[in-house]
Structure 1
């Protein structure tokens, strides 16, 4: 911990650079700028950098030691934020009362700092451990990882452990399980008509969608972690027309893989039979993030992390998180996975997002000791 604390100023300096560099998920230039900033630090530790070009979003990065033939520990993080280009200029990095503020400061610019300095520590104190790690930083996690999911799964399959650098909870807890989820679009087609001159000739797509929304909402079972919500609707052309089109955008959350299959089948069944004769329905989408369940593998890894924390007097707690993350992908493949290893903070995706500066050194050491223990 003394080594970490001596580098607190250096950590905060890098954090400021990262936060003041916009890297919203759709701002490729900014994400690639963050990637270039991080590359040099990893190369200085002897890592070989592989850049996976991505025209749609920012590039993805893979780091491994040149003699790491079969690394067994995946360290996973993302370089994108939810904040648009120009946000950093409006709300630049600042510190106040032991906290750091700024766009993406804890989700997850702070995690990038935590991970990097954990590896710097190991390079000095246990360089052999670095041969057991592979680091993957993707650029589209906040979008659901559409271009990086396959890369994450391909990288995760050969490893034994996945340590995911999403921020810790406000109380410092790690994340041992997460809900899975998906997005659907329900497109309804009816028949247009003048609402005054010939309303009987029309078939209302909005009326049909209204029936479907009631049925979809009824699928929610909050006590068991199932949530189905139609968050956006659109349709029609003019108020004096019977609407011939309507679309509902559906968000789904589940706790288990079995629930994923069941809810998908029930949504498909609802889409099969129209309530308004003459309408047709087209359903798109599906479950795009499997749940991260608290299974025996993840439970055993949590015990290892707890043991690493105990070695320097840190009591490690854990929680279930309702939101999704890339941790779900290795976990669903059978890889022991723990999330929330980044620094402590709160108000994520918010103008008041903050990071507890004191937690930087603590989380760096926890990650380093966990990697060393697993190695």
Structure 2
């Protein structure tokens, strides 16, 4: 962004207009998602027990800020090593969190709980709009792509021990904290405004186009629930048996979450926040977006976040959450959306 535009942002009389212009497309997309969610809640009031469940997402908003602050504190402790940590943090955060920066972050921070709640409502409608029917085909596609074997079988020689499973499981849950911290870091970032908006647009569009639309088109539950949904032999029974055994050595948190999701789906047909959807993998899609962002920041961040995305893909298969093809589709979709959003912003700047 040009210095002239940055000066406009910092000019108080023009700040509200600049904020609206800067975030207009992002807010319009979120508004459409919210409208669709509200329409769905109104059309099926008996299906949605807590409607938008905003209280949970407002709590997540606060959690994200805490994660970002913790991440910054750890960075300071490792790389800056000030003599007086609290004084250093107070001085630098006071200088960083100016009035303009706080106002600039407000549209993103305000829309995130609404977007998360709206996404959840639409995701919960997946089995209602399109009953789960693609799992057998997903499993067959995985076997065809991987020489006749299921991908989890190919991973077992390397990751088929409790310690490696625990590492993948930890990394898979770490995803939540890294994504939230990144979103809130970018919300306050005045210095990389075009990159910031490219990520934000890619982020919300990937969750809508991949996590809502594509999930409905290819409605599936994933390997961990295959045996409950598909008649006949279960090609993932061996994987789930292994995970149960590994859980006795080192707890596998994924199993507890999977059991909770299935119990909730069985009781409530999935129409709430604990709904099930496998294709595509949004863990992988969002991790690929993080890697793409990382490469635009610096080489070290690009390498680290690429490794993280690869481990998320491996973990999604090894822990029984996804077919490998779910991750491939999520990664490809994220790259396409990121590229198109970048071109759109470049064109708007000309």
TM-score by length of 1: 0.25
Larger Rg: 1
More strand by share: 1
